[in-house]
């Protein structure tokens, strides 16, 4: 992420164009590992009232998320985890199923989550043993685990909770109760009282829900309690047909399940009113009057546009963009610059940036509409893309270092609108490897919204990227704040070569990881040849001689040699990665064999370009404490290395509902996979091994 040579060149060229829309998310996102502490969601266990032996008392887990944090419904959606409990009850007592209030939707980067962003209570009925002696209190203890998340990080939390339940025959004690339970029960979805019907039609599943026409619906949403029945993030269509509500959902693309029966909660309005239902196969009414779009609530378009604008604005401080922007802004401060010329350059630069981001967005949306699985963050699996970016970063570094001057006679000369337009194109092009804050939500939504709205986000991203330069061009006071032109600008330009040079070195390292020693060596040789050619070009430029044709010939030779040699030098994907856990490479067969051993299995997927993966490996996985806990429990470890494109890994990730890495799965003996959070801790892994 080989046939004949021509096919190989065409393949790499198309892949390069296809993946320009995003090129460094995993290298630029930073994640700080967090140790699970029950502080982000405070939990209290309370009992409703005193009860007699043989009766049922309702307990409540009162959840209080801190500002900006949220908890999860029993089916968390595309990501997350509901509450998990280990009870310590008196003899003869039993606990029933957890009863959750109607959840809310939270769409982040195309992933739909079922969450609670406010205080809520999860109820559970506990039946007292018939033989329990009345009189006094009985202790009830439980070890609870839950996941607390913000929009950017998730922290597994846990606590040992306890409550004293009064078991009595005294009327005075039995009459006392906690009145808060009335409100908590009111937040639970009401039972529908009738079965819903469902039928599968192609890649859609249609449900007929008995619902009186008098019931008012406001932005309804259907939360499925069962996994792999429908695509959580896909739009939901609602229609009225008499006293039936017809809901049309999209099926999962991979491994959909056709259950004999499944549960769901229908949210009726944004106030949180809901009904709980069960659906069985049956005839579903056709037609009906469509309701307003019932797609999952998400950020409004104005907020998404604001996020795109902010994301583009922050790209200007990324190491791959800042050198170009800063030098172009300083060019406005040169002596003799008129306000009219400054504005023309500002508009031309903005036009170049917006054209580039719009073209990349249109290409991305067109490819996705054609069935291509194209997104943000996985293109660094493609060696050809990395090589081209490395050579480009090398050329920009050499230019900033003063080895040569780049210009296109008659078009992009310095100080002209044409030159500003070309600089805008270049700035947007080198910005595509970078992904800054606020961009994830906006760009994820751009891939899901209608084409016009998606394109509006790409255009706004370009406006954000161009905004600082445009402001300097149009606001004289900002230009006056810039330092006066002088010799220091030469040194500043050379200083800007440092971050761009570090960018080139990072890409060279990735070439080595992707293709091995020979691939990285030849790529480094081509980059060195390019630097020598650029230095020779600069020498001719300083002597007043024509140099464009020399550079063009050398660049053409580099392209031909690279296309001929590099694909043949690609090392086969590594069989695994070094690990103190004695990890074995992933395959479906290896996983089946490990699970058949009757031992716990820890399976994780990583990539060299995934910084989140590397942080987790250093902080939690590749630790002596983890190794000791795993060895004691006999845990078998499998690892899938997705640094290079691997169809088997891609297929498995999709089956697990994961868009990419990291992905961490825990297989307890004889049980299905448990997906662990994307931020790991030693305590979490050691706790899993300890059972």
pLDDT 10s digits, 63-89: 999 999 999 999 998 888 889 999 999
Among 17-26, 168-177, 495-504, 600-609, which is the least confidently predicted range? 17-26
Q: Which of 290, 318, 334 is at the close of a domain?
A: 290
pLDDT at 31 over 60: no
Residue 52's domain is classified under what CATH number?
2.60.40.1250
Query: Is residue 139 located within the same domain as residue 211?
Result: no
Stretch 135-162: mean pLDDT? 88
Distance CA 329, CA 320 (A): 16
Residue 240's domain is classified under what CATH number?
2.60.40
The more confident residue out of 641 and 280 is: 280
Question: Residue 474 domain-assigned?
Answer: yes
Distance CA 311, CA 299 (A): 15
Q: How much is the pLDDT for 24? A: 29
Query: Is residue 358 located within the same domain as residue 501?
Result: yes
Question: Residue 623 domain-assigned?
Answer: yes
Phi and psi at 121, nearest 5°, equal -130, 135
Q: Which of 188, 203, 234 is at the close of a domain?
A: 188
Query: Is residue 181 located within the same domain as residue 277?
Result: no
Stretch 38-47: mean pLDDT? 87
Locate 268 and state its tokens.
Answer: 């009726």
Stretch 483-491: mean pLDDT? 66
Distance CA 346, CA 427 (A): 13
Query: Is residue 163 located within the same domain as residue 62?
Result: yes
| Nearest to 685, CA basis, from 641, 620, 612 | 620
Query: Is residue 285 located within the same domain as residue 329?
Result: no
Among 278-282, 295-299, 582-586, 686-690, which is the least confidently predicted range? 295-299
Q: Which domain covers residue 328, as residue numbers?
A: 301-569
Q: What is the mean pLDDT of the chain?
A: 77
Q: Which of 188, 205, 234 is at the close of a domain?
A: 188
Question: Residue 5 domain-assigned?
Answer: no
Q: How much is the pLDDT for 569? A: 58
Question: Residue 133 domain-assigned?
Answer: yes
The more confident residue out of 562 and 184 is: 184
412-416 long-range contacts, Cβ below 8 Å, gap at least 24?
414/331, 415/331, 415/334, 415/341, 415/345, 416/345
Question: Residue 7 domain-assigned?
Answer: no
Q: What total of structural domains would you count in the chain?
A: 4
In this predicted model, what pLDDT tens digit does every residue of 279-300 receive, in sequence order?
999 999 887 777 754 333 345 6
pTM of the model: 0.43
In this predicted model, what pLDDT tens digit does every residue of 489-533 receive, in sequence order?
677 777 777 877 887 887 787 777 777 777 788 888 888 888 888
Query: Is residue 175 located within the same domain as residue 199?
Result: no
pLDDT at 430 over 80: no
Question: Residue 533 domain-assigned?
Answer: yes
Question: Residue 14 domain-assigned?
Answer: no
Classified as helix, coil or strand, 667 is strand
Question: Residue 547 domain-assigned?
Answer: yes
| Nearest to 207, CA basis, from 288, 105, 296, 115 | 288
Query: Is residue 167 located within the same domain as residue 71?
Result: yes
**pLDDT-based confidence at residue 484 (cuts at 50, 70, 90):** low
């Amino acid at each position: 992420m080989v046939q004949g040579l021509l096919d190989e060149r065409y393949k790499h060229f198309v892949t390069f164009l296809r993946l320009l829309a995003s090129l460094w998310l995993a290298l630029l996102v930073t994640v700080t590992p967090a140790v699970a502490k029950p502080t982000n969601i405070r939990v209290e266990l309370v009992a409703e009232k005193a009860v007699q032996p043989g009766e049922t008392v309702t307990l409540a887990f009162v959840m209080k998320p801190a500002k900006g944090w949220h908890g999860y419904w029993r089916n968390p959606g595309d990501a997350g985890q509901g509450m998990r409990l280990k009870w310590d009850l008196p003899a003869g007592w039993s606990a029933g199923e957890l009863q959750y209030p109607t959840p809310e939707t939270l769409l982040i980067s195309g992933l739909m989550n079922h969450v609670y962003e406010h205080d809520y209570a999860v109820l559970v009925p506990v039946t007292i043993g018939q033989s329990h002696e009345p009189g006094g209190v009985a202790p009830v203890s439980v070890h609870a685990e839950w996941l607390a998340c913000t929009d950017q990080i998730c922290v597994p939390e846990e606590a040992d909770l306890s409550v004293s339940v009064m078991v009595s025959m005294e009327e005075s004690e039995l009459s006392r109760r906690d009145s808060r339970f009335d409100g908590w029960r009111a937040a639970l979805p009401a039972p529908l009282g009738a079965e819903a019907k469902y039928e599968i039609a192609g890649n859609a599943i249609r449900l007929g829900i008995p619902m009186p026409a008098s019931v008012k619906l406001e932005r309804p949403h259907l939360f499925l309690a069962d996994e792999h029945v429908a695509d959580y993030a896909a739009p939901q269509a609602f229609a009225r047909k008499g006293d039936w509500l017809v809901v049309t959902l999209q099926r999962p693309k991979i491994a959909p399940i056709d259950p004999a029966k499944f549960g769901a909660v229908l949210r009726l309005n944004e106030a949180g009113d809901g009904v709980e239902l069960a659906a069985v196969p049956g005839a579903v009414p056709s037609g009906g009057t469509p309701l307003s779009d019932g797609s999952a609530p998400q950020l409004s378009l104005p907020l998404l546009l604001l996020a795109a604008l902010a994301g583009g604005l922050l790209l200007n401080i990324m190491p791959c963009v800042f050198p170009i922007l800063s030098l172009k802004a300083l060019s406005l401060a040169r002596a003799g610059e008129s306000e009219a010329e400054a504005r023309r350059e500002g508009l031309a630069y903005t036009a170049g940036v917006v054209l580039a981001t719009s073209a990349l967005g249109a290409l991305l949306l067109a490819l996705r509409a054609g069935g291509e699985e194209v997104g943000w963050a996985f293109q660094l699996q493609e060696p050809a893309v990395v090589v081209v970016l490395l050579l480009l970063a090398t050329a920009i570094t050499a230019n900033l270092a003063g080895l040569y001057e780049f210009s296109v006679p008659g078009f992009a000369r310095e100080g002209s609108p044409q030159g500003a337009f070309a600089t805008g194109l270049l700035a947007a092009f080198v910005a595509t490897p970078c992904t800054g804050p606020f961009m994830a939500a906006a760009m994820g939504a751009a891939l899901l919204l209608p084409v016009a709205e998606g394109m509006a986000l790409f255009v706004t991203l370009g406006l954000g990227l161009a905004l600082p330069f445009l402001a300097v061009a149009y606001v004289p006071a900002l230009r006056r704040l810039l330092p006066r032109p002088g010799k220091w600008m030469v040194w500043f330009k050379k200083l800007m070569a440092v971050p761009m040079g570090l960018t080139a070195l990072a890409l060279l390292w990735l070439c080595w990881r992707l293709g091995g020693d020979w691939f990285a060596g030849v790529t480094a040789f081509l980059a060195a040849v390019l630097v020598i050619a650029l230095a020779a070009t600069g020498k001719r430029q300083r002597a007043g001689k024509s140099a464009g044709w020399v550079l063009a010939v050398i660049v053409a030779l580099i392209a031909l040699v690279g296309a001929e040699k590099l694909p043949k030098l690609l090392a086969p994907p590594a069989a695994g990665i070094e690990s103190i856990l004695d990890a074995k490479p992933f395959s479906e067969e290896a996983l089946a064999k490990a699970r058949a051993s009757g031992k716990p299995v820890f399976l994780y997927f990583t990539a060299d370009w995934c910084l989140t993966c590397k942080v987790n490996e250093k902080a939690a996985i590749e630790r002596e404490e983890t190794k000791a806990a795993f060895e004691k429990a006999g845990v078998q470890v499998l690892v899938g290395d997705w640094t290079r494109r691997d169809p088997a890994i891609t297929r498995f990730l999709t089956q697990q509902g994961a868009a990419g890495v990291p992905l961490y799965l825990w297989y307890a003996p004889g049980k299905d996979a448990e997906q662990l959070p994307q931020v790991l801790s030693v305590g979490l892994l050691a706790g899993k091994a300890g059972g």
